[in-house]
Amino acid sequence: MKSNSLPIFSEVNAASQVLKGWPLLRLGFRPFYIGGALLAALIVPLWVAMFLGQLSLTPAVPPLLWHAHEMLFGFAAAIILGFLMTAGKAWTGLATPRGATLGALALLWLAARVTSVVGPYAVYAVLDLALLPLVAALLATLFLRAKNYRNLPMALILALLACANLAFHLTVMGALNIPAATPLYAGLALIVIIECAIAGRVIPAFTMAVTPGLKLTSKVWMERLTLGATALGLALWVFSPANMVNLIVLAAASVLQVHRLLGWRPAVTVSRPILWILHAAYAWIPLGLALLALAQIGWVPVSAGIHALAVGATGGLIIGMMTRTARGHTGRLLKVTSAEVLAYALVMTAAVLRVFLPLVSPGLLVVSVIGAALAWSVAFVIYLWIFTPWLMTTRLDGKDG
C-alpha cells in the first residue's frame, strides 16, 4: 500500500511545484500579449493626436518614425515573441523562458517602450536593441538542443529583425547614411515573411480540423515558389528604387499568394469567426503586394501597400492568433464571443479605412486616420477587457502554462 501511494504523492507534489509562481509569467504569451495589446490600444491614438497637432509630446525620434517603429518593433514584435516563446515549448518539448527570466524579458520590452517617449535617446536605443537578439539566441539554442532544425529559420528571421532595428537606430544617430524608412520597411517585410510561414502551418490545419472530410494539400515546390517570390518582391521593394522589375515580381507574388489562400478553402470558414479572421487577414498580404506593385509606377501611394500589410495583414492575423492561442493556452473553448467578433471586424474596418479612403480622395486622409485609429484602438481594448483576467490567472484545467 505504501509503495503504491508514493508515486501518486510524487506526481501531485511535482504538479504543485510546476504551478508555483505568478501565472502571468508561466508562458511567454501571457505578459507579451497583454503588453502588446496595451501598446496597440494606446500608441495609435497618441500618434493621431501628434499628427493632428493636438499633442506636443516629443518622442525620442521624430513622431512619424516613432509611430512606425513602435508599431513594428514594439507592438508586432511583442506578439511574435510571445507566440514563439509559447509555440517553442510545444515544438520542442523543452521549457521556454518563464518566471524571473520571462519577467525580465517583459520588463526590458516595457522599459524600451517607456523610454521611447520620456527617456534619453541613447538609453532608448540600448534597451530597444537588447530584446530581439536575446530571444533569437534563446530560441536558436532551444531548437538546436531539441534537434528541431525545421524551426531554426524563425530564430534567424528574429536575428535579421534585430539587424533591421540596429540599422534604424544607426540611421537616426547619423552613423548609417540611408533613409530611416528603409530599415522600417525591412522590418515590415520580415514580419510579413514570419506571418506567411506561420500561416502556412496553422491556417490549413485549423481549417481541416473543423471541416469533416476536408483534406488540404499543397505542393512543396509551389509553397517554396510562393514564399520565395514574396521574399524577393519585398526585398526589391525595400532595397531598390521603383522599377518595372519590382512591379513584375511583386505582382507575381501577389498572384501566387491568392492561389495559396484559395487553396485553403476560406469559404468553408464563414460560420467560424475564430477561423475566418485568419483567412480574411491573410487576404491583405496579396492585396498589399499588389498595391506595392502599383506603387512602383506611381498609380497608388506606397503607404497604401504598407498599411495593407501592417494594419490588415499584421493587425488582423495578430488579433486572430491572440484570441485563439490565449483561449487554447488558458484551457478555454476555441469559440469566440460576439465581443471578440466585434474586435475582428474593427481591425478589418481600420484596414479598409486606412488603405482605401485616401485612394478614393486624398482629402479624406484625416478622416481615414481618425476612423482607423478609433476602430483599431477599440478592438484592442476589447481584447484587454476579456483576456487580461484570463492571462493573469491559472488555466481553467489547472495545467501548467
Q: Is residue 227 in a domain?
A: yes
Domain co-membership, 168 together with 225: no
The model's confidence at residue 15, banded by pLDDT at 50, 70 and 90, is very low
Average pLDDT on 217-229 reads: 94
Q: Are residues 278 and 398 in the same domain?
A: yes
Please provide residue 46's backbone torsions phi and psi, each rounded to the nearest 5 degrees: -60, -45
Question: How many angstroms separate the CA atoms of 210 and 89, rounded?
Answer: 24
Separation between Cα atoms, residue 191 and residue 202, nearest integer Å: 16
Model confidence, pTM:
0.94
Summarize pLDDT for 92-106 with one digit per residue, the tens.
999 999 999 999 999
In a domain, 19, yes or no: no
Same domain flag for 173 and 276: no
Alpha-carbon gap, residue 335 to 342, rounded angstroms: 14
Domain-ending residue, one of 153, 178, 203: 178
Q: Which domain holds residue 401?
A: 217-401
6: confidence class by pLDDT, cuts 50, 70, 90: very low
**Mean pLDDT for all residues in the chain:** 93
Q: What is the DSSP letter of 301?
A: -
Q: What pLDDT score was predicted for residue 19?
A: 67
Domain boundary among 123, 153, 178: 178
pLDDT bracket for residue 16 (50, 70, 90): very low
Instruction: Confirm whether 271 is domain-assigned.
Output: yes
Condensed to tens digits (0 to 9), the pLDDT of residues 55-87 reads 888 888 999 999 999 999 999 999 999 999 999
Q: Based on the domain organization, do 114 and 252 belong to the same domain?
A: no
Tally the domains of the chain.
2
Q: How many other CB atoms sit within 10 Å of the CB of residue 259?
A: 14
Q: Are 305 and 292 in contact (CB under 8 A)?
A: yes
Q: Which of 3-7, 154-158, 170-174 has the lowest mean pLDDT?
A: 3-7
CB 185 within 8 A of CB 155: no
pLDDT of residue 56: 84
Which whole number is the average pLDDT over 152-166? 97
Residue 215 pLDDT > 80: yes
Of 25, 29, 35, nearest to 98 (Cα)? 25
Q: Binning pLDDT at 50, 70 and 90, where does residue 14 land?
A: very low
Contacts of 316 (CB under 8 A, 6+ apart): 277, 278, 280, 281, 282, 284, 344, 347, 348, 351
Residues 171 and 232 in one domain: no
269 and 139 inside one domain? no
Name the percent of the chain lying above pLDDT 90: 88
